[in-house]
Structure 1
Amino acid sequence: MAAARARRHDPERRQRIVDAALRVVGARGIAGLSHRTVAAEADVPLGSTTYHFASLDELLVAALRQANEGFGRELRESAALAAPGADLASALARLMGEWIGGERTGVELEYELYLAALRRPALRPVAAEWTAAVTETLARHTDLVTARALVALMDGICLQALLTGAEYDEAYARDMLGRLLVARSETAADR
């Protein structure tokens, strides 16, 4: 009996597959994603992609979770937000500017995966996780309702810039975020 071929242990293979999926979606869009294109990009056998991710939705869930780390991490680690008495509108507008003004392909990729949840129900919980995490971070600086409104406004401003190709306008973002925060303060004062 021939000796069984030893299986090569590759603990980083799953991560390489997720990274490859992000590169494929970044270059070709979600329509260009397949187990075959990811396997080729990751330089792994096709069976490896299906072993780690039985469906493309499973692979997209892992990719979306990883992509979501960008802006959420920036918020959590922001020294400007952590400072006592921080100007929340200015800090958020600046963070958004750094994020959207940086490597735009990554931002577009995050939104493409995020918006894919419209047609792929398996992605909806991950999109909701991102929204909840960012809302929770912002709720430390304001109330929960206002934090949810801030997330919606920030998403809208970023999407408009991405979809129109316009430059991000930090002063506009700061003004709009400030208006929302002032309205919240005025409502709280009226109670």
Structure 2
Amino acid sequence: MARRYDPDRRTRIIDAALAVMAADGIAGLSHRTVAAEADVPLGSTTYHFRSLDELLIAALRRCNETFAQALRGSEVLAAPPATGAAAPGAGLADELTRLLGQWFAGERGAIELEYELYLAALRRPALRPVAAEWTEAAVEVLSRRTDPETARALVALMDGICLQVLLTGGSFDADHTREMLARVADGRG
């Protein structure tokens, strides 16, 4: 029997892993559940991803890219900071708040999955470099508008705000977020 050419199979397996984890969390992830979701033979999942950690790495990279693309695609973040502004961090805080607001306006399950994968690095050392990639990519983009240390503080604050909203079941408070981000961006925080 001839082998079927399927160039998108690896991508479908990653998509299936994300779907399984969105429904059942990381605890529900196995090569078998992913193969069933992707409608591929079990051997395909183990061919493309020898271990569940490899599959989790690919899934986390996919999630990282979503928000990183939003940051890179922002005209405000790509532009140099305005000179002579009374509060130079205000525009940066406004844009970051807008992006977080869009993120929270979507399906909350997607955000929960991204943070579940991000926090899985606490127990799975193989995921740590990929979790760090997200931070470094965000710092790189934000450093176009501010110094690298302030950029790192802004990323930490955004992570903290997102985790608090997710863990408390609260709603995203754009005004509070904007104020806190502006304080850090302007060196008042």
RMSD: 1.4
Q: Deviations over 1:87-142 (max 9, x none)?
A: 10111111111112212111111111011000000100000011100010001100
How do 1:28-67 residues align onto structure 2 when only pairs under 5 Å count? 28-67=24-63
Which residue of 2 is the match for residue 189 of structure 1?
Answer: none
Q: Percent identity?
A: 70
Deviations for 1:139-178, whole angstroms, at most 9, x for unmatched residues?
1100000000000000000110011111100000000011
Separation of aligned partners in 1, 2:163 and 2:141: 21
List, as ranges, runs of 4+ consecutive aligned residues in structure 1 with deviation greater than 6 Å: none
Q: Which residue of 2 aligns with 1:106?
A: 110
- 1:79 Cα offset (Å): 2.3
Q: In 1, Cα distance between the equivalents of 2:171 and 2:79?
A: 28
Question: What is the CA distance between 1:80 and its match in structure 2?
Answer: 3.0
Q: Secondary structure at the match of 1:10?
A: coil
**Over alpha carbons, which structure has the higher Rg?**
1
1:87 to 87, 91, 97: 91
- The range that moved more, 142-151 or 104-113, is 104-113
What residue ranges of structure 2 are gaps of 5+ in the alignment?
A: 83-89
How many positions carry a matched residue from both structures? 181
- Matched to 1:91, the amino acid is E
State the distance in 2 between where 1:144 and 1:80 align: 17
Distance 2:118 2:138 in 1: 14
The answer to whether 1:146 aligns with 2:150 is yes
Q: What is the SS of the residue equivalent to 2:111?
A: helix
Could you state the TM-score of these two structures normalised by the residue count of structure 2? 0.92
Provide structure 1 residue ranges, at least 5 long, that are not aligned to the other structure. 187-191
SS of aligned partner of 1:140: coil
